[in-house]
Amino acid sequence: MRRGGANVGRLNRDPLAWGRYVAVAGAYAACYELTRYFSFSHWTLTAGLRLACLFLVPKRFWPALAVGEALPIAEMAALHARQFGITWAVLASIPPMIFCMPIVGLLRARSSLRRPDGQINMAMLMFATLACALVTTLDNSLVLSTVVMADGSAAPSATAPIFLAWLLGAYLGALTITPTIMALRERALAMGRKRVTWQAWWRSPLTRDTLFIAVPILALLLGVASQVDGGALQATRIAMAAPVLALTWRHGWHGSALGGMLASIGMASTSFRLQDPAMIQAQTVLAFVLSTSLLFGVRVARRMSKRALAEAPAGAQHR
């Protein structure tokens, strides 16, 4: 109680404190709307935004994040309350972030996002990704079970295929967004006090490999995917995982993150209908490749860091 009272007192003394909370809530709501616009049932980008913010935003701003997520969700629920029922609307207005907060909070309290060697704790991040995807899917299933159709028709139910599609969507959506945000943040922090400029990013080997290796390969595969169907289309989709492996080998988990984001976007661009079994199978393969690449990429990054330290001048190592 004292801690809560101290927080309230601090907010009352600082005229800018409430403004910061409103700004965080508004910024998150805007980003949530943007990612939701490009999401679908088995590619939920909002899961990645949610997880990244829970790991990177200080806990004192978590209530603002929850409010920012609740606003667009409650609006959507209110618009469809007459069609699906009041009970559904009330439960659908609860932001999934509420259920992810205890998971990430416990992980942040018991462990650090950074390992002793300075590398990211990818195992913890992957566990959080899977756990949050699971609780979000369970929440969606519970909410769906309360639907009462206004026209008296049979309400939809969360069948096993739908449940697995939602689980895959939340998991792959998080893998598409969260590691990329982590990688970009880490590279920006590595520049120290240097000014982050377009020239600095352009000189990065990762940027050049992404633009001149990953992007052309994916563009070629997208062109092929637009001309084929059936087994050839499925093979083309799975081939989109190749840039992930290439960038991982050259740049560690940073390459995995950027390559995985591009591959995931490219694969999603070949989806012509929702709940396509072939598409879900291809996304499952990509999720597996991306997961293993991120874990292996940490080892590659550790090896690269040791090599850079060994090649650095003696004076630079003891500053």
pLDDT digits (tens, 9 = 90+) for 94-130: 999 999 999 999 999 999 999 888 899 999 999 999 9
pTM score above 0.85: yes
Q: Distance (Å, rounded) from C-alpha 295 to C-alpha 101?
A: 24
Phi and psi torsions of 40, nearest 5°: -145, 180
Q: Distance (Å, rounded) from C-alpha 102 to C-alpha 108?
A: 10
Find the helix packing angle between 17-37 and 62-79, rounded to 10°: 50
The count of other CB atoms within 10 Å of the CB of residue 5 is 9
Identify the residue with better confidence: 198 or 255.
255
Q: Distance (Å, rounded) from C-alpha 138 to C-alpha 158?
A: 10
Residue 43: beta bridge partners?
A: 40
Task: Give residues with Cβ within 8 angstroms of 299, minimum separation 6.
Answer: 252
Note the pLDDT of residue 189. 85
Q: Are 276 and 237 in contact (CB under 8 A)?
A: no
Please state the length of the chain.
319
| pLDDT above 60 (res 307) | yes
Q: Are 276 and 165 in contact (CB under 8 A)?
A: no
Of 314, 246, 257, which is closest to residue 291 (Cα–Cα)? Answer: 257
Domain ranges of the chain: 1-153, 197-306
Percentage of the residues of the chain whose pLDDT score is greater than 70 = 90
Residue 120: beta bridge partners?
A: 114
Note the pLDDT of residue 3. 46
Residue type, 85: G
The encoded tokens of residue 220 equal: 């070629």
Q: What is the pLDDT of residues 151-191, one digit of tens each?
A: 888 888 889 999 999 999 999 999 999 999 999 999 888 87
